[in-house]
Structure 1
Amino acid sequence: MNYDFEIDRVCEEIRKTKAKSVGLQFPEGLKTKALDVAREIERRCSVTTFIFADPCYGACDTKEPEAKRLGIDLIIHFGHDEF
């Protein structure tokens, strides 16, 4: 099955916010795609990515405290609903 991770839209948001480091959060069923998505974002957007690999329980489970501690500028939360 092919997934559309909307990399163009992600890169647009990265440029808009001038983020240099980006945290990526995936639901359990998409974590096998996380490394490929991270590499593509790094290649196309010239940023450093961090993958949050711990369990994710929906859109309300963003890793904001962890991102702040790590100095991450932007969190991209992948899922089926727009947040």
Structure 2
Amino acid sequence: MSLIHTAELHQVEPFNDLVALLRHAAAVALDPPAWMPWNYTTALARLSADPAPHRTDPAPSARRAPTAPCHAPAQPRRGAGGC
């Protein structure tokens, strides 16, 4: 059964449910059962009552820097003739 079908069975608008999951991804990761279609409005109410900010995206320092393709070394090794 899909998330959309489950939401419909519980008289929840599937689009609103999925948008809430995406907007609050960090909170969903911490407590997935609280974000099931039949619970997510309660989870939203708890978040709005909580004065602490909730980040939905990783902190800039947690993001990975882009890496060079594996076939092209970032710095040539001594004696290496390239690829």
Q: What TM bracket, shorter-length normalisation? A: under 0.3
TM-score by length of 2: 0.23
TM-score by length of 1: 0.23
Q: Which has the higher strand share?
A: 1
Q: Which has the higher helix share?
A: 2
The structure whose Rg is larger is: 2
Q: Higher RCO, 1 or 2 (CA under 8 Å, sep at least 6)?
A: 1
